[in-house]
Amino acid sequence: MSLLQFLYCPEEFGVVLLTFSFILFLSPYFSGCDFGIFKIPEFTQKLKKRLQFIGPIILILSIALHYPFFNNEEENFWRIFG
């Protein structure tokens, strides 16, 4: 069971968080670019440095939300005794 399932959050919410964190991860490198659907604004050097530090951390945390940390006790019961 992942942390998202443990907190009773829908899977779509996790996908939105993952997408947003991926955009934050890439935004300091593509500052000022236009991709048609969305345009990344021009950032100052100070903000680019902060995003280069914070972006990967947020991306790793959002990926960790999908990782199954908790075991399902019923599933473990049948695996042992089944």
pLDDT digits (tens, 9 = 90+) for 12-51: 998 999 999 998 898 899 888 888 877 888 989 999 999 9
Chain mean position to CA 56: 9
* Domain carrying residue 7: 3-81
Question: At residue 3, does pLDDT exceed 60?
Answer: yes
Q: Is 77 helix (H, G, I), strand (E, B) or coil?
A: helix
Q: What total number of domains does the chain contain?
A: 1
What residue has token string 């006790």?
Answer: 73
* pTM metric for this prediction: 0.74
Instruction: State the Cα angle at 53 between 31 and 5, rounded to 5°.
Output: 100
